[in-house]
Chain A
């Protein structure tokens, strides 16, 4: 289905990620250049007062964008706004969701979230998807 065919209240197919692994975060550290050790080394996370290593917020945000990747011929993400509201720990099972809220001119506005296994939003925000007019 095309983005243009979605109606208000419709959701894009949601995606459940495999349980978060240390290797996921090591890979993201390398690919992003964010080597803050609270994301990869237990002792450093504990020193920072955390119960264990936590995912980079940008890892979760990066994952969330994939809900829109396959619509690349129809348009692109014009704005992507996120508030980080919870921490993601190892073994957490994250589900990515997007719901169409509004259509304004050439844009479709979605609310987006990544939820943990307890149904709490760990990140939350909006995507404005611009539709090409040609």
Chain B
């Protein structure tokens, strides 16, 4: 049921690296460093502004992928990566979308596990990629069965 979503992507969504959201996020990961939260410190830095923590893109809206239906519960976050060309700058607009990269199944002792690979993209207004992030979601047999009913 996930196989047919491979290659599908969402429509682009514009997100803003909001100052308040960056501050809250930095505090929530126990990293309220002045490069994230203090305006004057940011201005004096090489970025001439504050930046956002590397895992901040977690909060962006990437739009919905048509036909991809995920259960509300029971998903396992298997792995996660981020790749950056530069840090995110506070205040900038990021154009985001996501894509189903792959889906495959592996048999194990606890049944057949499904691996759904979703890739998220963040670009500037000139279509230059600022970051990508890839999430591998593990979907157990029990959870997949629940989806079919």
Contacts and interface: CB of A to CB of B under 8 A. Distances in A.
A83 B59 contact: no
A73 B45 contact: yes
Interface residues of A, number: 35
A72 B45 contact: yes
B27 A31 contact: yes
Interface in B65-91: 73-74, 76-87
Contacts, number: 107
A61 B104 CA distance: 25
A6 interface: no
Contacts of A31: 21, 24-25, 27-29, 59
Given A33-B59, A72-B45, A132-B46, A80 B54 contact: yes
A76 B33 CA distance: 14
B30 A17 contact: yes
Contacts of B55: 58, 61-62, 65, 80
B30 A63 contact: yes
B20 to A, nearest CB: 10
B77 A77 contact: no
B25 A79 contact: no
Contacts of A132: 46
Given A31-B25, A31-B28, 6 more contacts: A31-B27, A62-B53, A62-B55, A63-B30, A65-B54, A76-B54
Interface of B: 21, 24-25, 27-31, 33, 35-36, 45-47, 51, 53-55, 58-59, 73-74, 76-87
The 6 closest A-B pairs by CB, nearest first: A62-B29, A31-B28, A66-B31, A81-B81, A62-B55, A31-B24
Interface of A: 17, 24, 27-28, 30-34, 36, 38, 48, 57-59, 61-63, 65-66, 69-70, 72-73, 76-84, 125, 132
